Amino acid sequence: MFVLAQKEIRGFFGSITGYLVISVFLVINSLFLWIFDSGFNIPDGGYAGIDGLFFISPWVFLFLIPAVTMRLFSEEFRLGTIAILKTRPLTDLQIIAGKWLAGITLVIIALIPTLIYYFSVYALGETPGNIDSAGTLGSYIGLLFLAAAYVSMGLFASALSDNPIIAFLIGMLFCFILYFGFDQLAGVFSSSKTQLFISGLGMNEHYASMSRGVIDSRDVVYFLSIIVLFTIPTQWILKNRV
């Protein structure tokens, strides 16, 4: 499983894919947080925090993670190399886990440079150290859980189609619906209880909860459930396709 993950990671950085994903992620966030005249601009905001990073990143990952995962299974099916992969001493679940680990590793590598934003705000604030470190840590943890769910959805989409472009579009659609769609659907209903229930089915509600710095077990269980929910059908597809 770990050998497969290492192989996929080498594949990311053996081509332009890994470097492009990390560069796009960092450039977009840097422009909005430090350059563009927007509500997320840190120098103009007058507030010691990097909340803008955790608002922008889910939307950037919504496009980038499906772009990373779209080839992980679709190419294997299209080229017929999945048959070779399945001859190795790996179960279908271990194959999925190896590719999932590769995807989440790339996300972690992309997030590490953003710590510069945190330390910059920590040091350059009017009062050094006047930043909500607990909230920032919770936001990073929440973003990792969100990205992990995105990766599992992207892998499922990749297993659905031999065409990477179609896999990308399907993966992006799943991520969009689960991150943003339920919030919009909740607004259709007038009952506050119904709104609360429907928004609770979406990832944004749980991600926002973790971003407050409190890691609630219900939010952790939710994200783990999403990962399992998409891993099971991916495993079924992998088992029944050759």
Query: Which residue ranges make up each domain of the chain?
Result: 2-240
CB 72 within 8 A of CB 17: no
Q: Going residue by residue through the chain (242 aa), what tens digit of pLDDT does each one get?
A: 778 888 888 888 888 888 999 999 999 999 988 888 777 887 776 676 788 899 999 999 999 999 999 999 998 888 888 888 878 888 999 999 999 999 999 999 999 999 998 888 888 766 666 778 888 888 999 999 999 999 999 999 999 999 999 999 999 999 999 999 988 888 888 788 888 899 899 999 999 988 877 788 999 999 999 999 999 999 999 888 75
Contacts of 23 (CB under 8 A, 6+ apart): none
| pTM of the complete model | 0.93
State how far the Cα of 81 lies from the Cα of 64, in Å rounded to an integer: 25
What are the tokens at 225?
């459930």
What's the pLDDT score for residue 224? 96
State how far the Cα of 239 lies from the Cα of 173, in Å rounded to an integer: 24
